[in-house]
Amino acid sequence: MAAILQREAVPLSRVFRNLPDGLDANVQRTPAKSREDRYQTVEELRRDLLNLRIEDGARIADART
């Protein structure tokens, strides 16, 4: 429990290669320690993920390949 509160999450790009640019930043923002750094609503996260998908021309689900 203490580790969750004290350490930053491992970036997805360290686990999965070929992720769309920007996906790491969106995912890292989700569990941010500071309230100001986190998404305030699921709709904000949804909007950013949809914009990311459009900008990169890639489906997020395809990033694992």
C-alpha angle 51-59-63 in degrees, rounded to nearest 5: 115
Domain that includes residue 16, residue range: 2-64
| pLDDT value of position 65 | 47
| pLDDT value of position 45 | 92
- Structural domain count, the chain: 1
| pLDDT value of position 64 | 47
11-59 residue pLDDT tens: 888 888 888 878 888 888 888 888 899 999 999 999 998 888 765 555 5
Of 44, 14, 21, 20, give the one whose Cα is nearest residue 32.
44
* pLDDT: which is higher, 57 or 8: 8
| pLDDT value of position 27 | 87
Backbone angles phi, psi at 11, to 5 degrees: -60, 140
Positive or negative CA dihedral for 36, 41, 44, 49?
A: positive
DSSP annotation of 21 reads: T
